[in-house]
Structure 1
Amino acid sequence: MATTRRPAAPLNAYVLHRYDWSESSLILDLFSREQGRLAVAAKGVKRPYSQLRSVLLPFQRIHVNVGRPPKSDEAGESTSEVQTLRGAEWAGGGAMLTGAALFSGFYMNELLMKLLARHDPHPALFDAYAQTLPLLPQGDDAVQTALRAFEITLLHEVGVLPDLSLVTNTLEAVEEDRSYALLPEAGVAAARSTDTAIAGEALIHLQAALVHGSIAALQAVCAQWLPALKPISRGLLHYHLGSPVLRTRQVMLDVQSLDP
């Protein structure tokens, strides 16, 4: 007796980027909680009568159904990265981002596209992204705090952030009352005169928040140590991205230079 295949459960996702594929279709770069980053073909979505045009927008949480994952060859390598969009529904969310908040949102999206491999799920990072978006329209300090917490979560999730409670080379415990540096090449180390120093207390609390998995706790620590964390996280990101300036940041700087 033949069994009926149950349809796959919808994926929780956000649209990171949209690329023109044809006159009527798009290729979407999605960030899903269950499957990580996905390349999805949305056929016919640009047509005037398509009901998906108002759904497939950035920074809006959606539920999507996609075709089967790409097949792999004998070596385990994917033979195709693009899946087909079967359906999408709006899953709730805040108002569309505007102004400076829009730049911050695209900055987060660019980080995800450049640092995450496809089909590598990071549910904790997805949740951090979802919890950060509503904070972007707030005041500057709140936005900077939220972005630092997101950056640290991202670096932790992709495996390039060392244990912040230990000196990397010696594995000695970090001491609260000493100053340290967080270096891209050497991890946690004693601060030199040329380094951006951060208190051991901050590193210990950051590591505890990461282990706990609470983005709110991480944001609270970042708020307390924001001046030191901004250059440190920027240095780590530039090192692992291999590029000194992200496209979204350069556009933001160009716009700011035009503002009298």
Structure 2
Amino acid sequence: MKRIHDEPAYVLHRYDWSESSLILEVFTRHHGRVALVAKGAKRPSSNFRPVLLPLQPLRLSFGGDAEIRTLKAAEWVGGHVMPTGEALLSGTYLNELLLRLLARDDAHAALFDAYAAAVRVLATPGTELVQPALRAFELLLLREVGVLPQLDVQTATLAPLDAAQAYVLVPEGGLRERHEDDGAGALAAGEWAALQAALDADAPFAALLPVCADLPASALRTQLRSLLHYHCGVGMLRTRQLLIDLQRL
């Protein structure tokens, strides 16, 4: 039985397993997305109860060779408080993306670091970088799972982008020139090239933040949303539907 000690991790989702236990979906730095059973975690006296919260940096120890392994220990690392309000919903959105797009037991250390950086932004009171952080993480996630094309060339021909043209990102079609029936949301060639340069930087999340902040927010969101929905296999993510319902209230 393999035992993992002090693994950096975040809780993505939790399910009731019995009257006293939980099944956790966690994102770990060296082992990717892992399913764990936290026995007795719902008991008032459990040491797990105040620790196993989403959007909080943890160190976990777990063991087993089954599909669902057993949580042995959990420690809160600290560093920031739980995001609240819109930031909390944004963090839940990031968790949903990871659950839908990452296979279990597939390590993504660089993506884990980007997720940790995005959560720190969300936990910063009064920050104006929530939306840029979401866009930056979406880009890195799409690249990590292999569905983001090169953003400084036209996908079909690999021809350089024309500085005078606007381009759209199309599922299964990649980056191409905007057509009349594409509607709003296209980005200029220079804007796509700036995103690619940030993705190629040594610290891509930090490099993407100012670029995403300077771009038209709705345009970049529209471009990435269609690609995310296509590869998630849904017409709308649950967290987005929840946000719409809350706005109606």
* TM-score for both structures, normalised by structure 2: 0.92
Q: Which has the larger radius of gyration?
A: 1
> Are residues 6 and 229 of structure 1, via their aligned partners in 2, closer, same or farther at CA, if it must alter by over 3 Å?
closer
Q: How far does the alpha carbon of each residue in 1:113-164 deviate from its partner, in whole angstroms, 9 at most, with x for none?
A: 0111101111111111111113225558521111111111111111100111
> Which secondary structure does the structure 2 equivalent of 1:194 belong to?
helix
Q: Deviations over 1:27-46 (max 9, x none)?
A: 00000011100000111111
- Identity of matched residues, %: 52
SS in 1 for 2:200: helix
- The within-5 A match list for 1:1-260 is 8-68=4-64, 70=65, 80-136=66-122, 142-195=129-182, 196-212=185-201, 213-225=203-215, 226-258=217-249
Classify 1:249/1:6 alpha carbon distance in 2 versus 1 (closer, same or farther; 3 Å): closer
How many pairs were matched up? 244
- Do the aligned residues in 2 keep the contact of 1:15 with 1:60 (CA within 8 Å)? yes
Supply the distance in 1 between the matched residues of 2:4 and 2:105 (Cα, whole angstroms).
Answer: 16
Q: Distance in 2 between matches of 1:245 and 1:227?
A: 17
Give the distance between the partners of 1:169 and 1:100, measured in 2 at CA: 38
Which residue in the other structure is 1:75 paired with? none
> What is the alpha-carbon distance in structure 2 between the residues aligned to residue 247 and residue 190 of structure 1?
31
2:129 is paired with a residue whose SS is helix
Cα contact 2:58–2:74 (8 A) shared by 1: yes
Q: CA deviation at 1:237?
A: 0.9
State how far apart, in whole Å, the 2-side matches of 1:210 and 1:103 are.
25
**SS of residue paired to 1:84:** strand
